[in-house]
Amino acid sequence: MLTPLECADETVPLVDADAYRLDVLDIDGQVFASTVVDRAEAQRIATHSTGETVAQDAEGVITVVGAATNMGPRTHVLTPRRSGTPQTLTPMERADEMARLVIAAAQQDNACVVTGGLVDTVMKLHADQEPGKANPVSVRRLVRARAAAEGVRVILTDDERYWAIREQLHHMDGDQVHALRDSIADGGDLDPRGHDRVLVEAISVCLSNRLSPARLHGAVPVSISLWHEPEPDGVGSLRECADYPGVAEALDVLRAAEVPVATFPGRKMLWREWHSPQGPQGAFVGPHCGRTLEVSWFIDGAHDERSMRTRNTRTVRGARNRALDDVAGAFDRAGWKVWRVESSNTATRRALRVDVIPPAEEEPSPVVTEEEAEALVAEFGIGEGDLDEAVYEAANEDGADEYNGGAHPELSDDDAYEEVHGAADVRASSVNNQGATAQVQFLAECCGNAEALRSLLEDLTSSAAPSSATTGSDA
């Protein structure tokens, strides 16, 4: 039951809601625009003015009939959106939210450029959420409408992409454009750029004798690539595993031992092409568990015998056994821990792979050992408290270097200074509490070598001796 409010400038009491969904109805009563407004904006819209009729039902839905807009009187419907309860977005709300996400992604990760691929990627990332169900056509329309205000460039159609590529080619010299055309030709049918009609046409026109149109002069090209580059090959390991700890070092060991490594083509290959002499051949390194890596051996695109005919198994098994023996020997000579993994289900030896662990990193040796530090304490006659001040000074010098190097960028200069020097004082106090031997070792690390340490101790003990003598004569 709607309760009309007849008095002018009467304020409608809002229900307990964090926000409201605003639906704008056309003259036929159909929703043609929808958005979400906060409580303050909803209160402003719901304030009854002359010429408007405001009504509110039992659920708190407010209807404003005759609201003034730039397209004439319209009907506004405010539906409360309470927190903690699932909300179903209208189609316009979905498109509006998805357009906002696309523009934000363009500003953060795509140099303020909205492309068709970016729209598809963002919608795919949010496919399991409410905004991801938006109509792609509506999303692109809203993105284009907001592009100027948000400072992004929209490249969605083939024509827009063609002229954006022409702008990039216009700022390249002739040799660079020729090199790009030659690299596409060398890639043949396997290069995705060769099947890009817009790119091929733009390069062809750029290299022709036609005059450059005026729109290209002074145009600022976008900084992103507008075509798909061919996928690079994975050499010795998958590209996503190349940064895994130990993989690069394992490949270096194999190359140093002249062991061939398998190459995984980045392009798509047919099954019969993969399992042929054109497929991966050689050692392949991949992560196993923790610091352990596994090294398998590919022959004609296969790392085992399961897809092979029986009559070829014996030849391949012997070749793989010998190859994995060479792999194990290479890692063993390099100081790695090696485990051979072999099958127990065959009558003859069948090597499956080799598991390896890189050698543990050796801790740097101290400048002076504990025994050498005790000898220096006895040689220079260092007593309790003689090196306290020197340790504090050395620790704070390290703190000053750390501060000058930009430590704690999240703090202000004064707070960062207090932080590093406070930590230096704590470190110095801990060293001083461990006795003269620990103090000598700490100073040795600060000096860097034994000669500089002996020079420092000589200076400290020689300066302490006159002061002691002066104190004795005064007594």
Q: How many domains does the chain have?
A: 5
Are 250 and 331 in the same domain?
yes
Read off the pLDDT of each residue in 12-39 and give the average, rounded to a whole number.
Answer: 75
Distance of CA 184 to the CA centre of its chain: 30
Are 353 and 238 in the same domain?
yes
Are 148 and 167 in the same domain?
no
Are 318 and 240 in the same domain?
yes
CA distances from 52 to 6, 15, 65 (A): 9, 21, 6
> Which of 28-42, 373-387, 389-403 shows the lowest mean pLDDT across its residues?
28-42
Q: Is the pLDDT of residue 469 over 60?
A: no
Domain assignment present for 229? no
Domain assignment present for 86? no
Are 420 and 455 in the same domain?
yes
Give the per-residue pLDDT at 143.
92
Give the per-residue pLDDT at 325.
92
Count of other CB atoms within 10 angstroms of residue 388: 16
> Which of 106-120, 177-191, 231-245, 323-337 shows the lowest mean pLDDT across its residues?
231-245
Count of other CB atoms within 10 angstroms of residue 394: 22
Q: Which of 30, 46, 81 is the last residue of a domain?
A: 81
Q: Which of 357, 381, 412 is the last residue of a domain?
A: 357
Q: What DSSP assignment string belongs to 225-281?
A: --SPPPPPPEESS-GGGTTSTTHHHHHHHHHHTT--B-EE-SS---HHHHSSTTS--
Domain assignment present for 23? yes
State pTM to two decimals.
Answer: 0.46
Are 346 and 404 in the same domain?
no
Q: What is the chain's mean pLDDT, rounded? A: 82
Distance CA 321, CA 375 (A): 57
Q: For helices 116-125 and 91-109, give the axis angle rounded to 10 degrees.
A: 110
**Cβ–Cβ under 8 Å, residues 78 and 45:** yes
Are 351 and 433 in the same domain?
no
Domain assignment present for 194? yes
Q: What is the dihedral sign for C-alpha 449, 455, 460, 465?
A: positive
Domain assignment present for 375? yes
Domain assignment present for 303? yes
Are 39 and 102 in the same domain?
no
Are 190 and 259 in the same domain?
no
Domain assignment present for 222? no
Q: Which of 61, 81, 101 is the last residue of a domain?
A: 81
Q: Is the pLDDT of residue 446 over 70?
A: yes
Domain assignment present for 337? yes
**Cβ–Cβ under 8 Å, residues 345 and 356:** no
Report which of residues 165 and 64 the model is more confident about: 165
Are 127 and 197 in the same domain?
no
Q: What are phi and psi of 95, to 5 degrees?
A: -65, -40
Most confident of 229-233, 305-309, 347-351, 358-362: 347-351
Are 247 and 138 in the same domain?
no
Domain extent for 111: 91-155
Count of other CB atoms within 10 angstroms of residue 58: 8
Q: Parallel, antiparallel, or unpaired: how do β-strands 153-155 and 113-115 relate?
A: parallel
Are 407 and 438 in the same domain?
yes
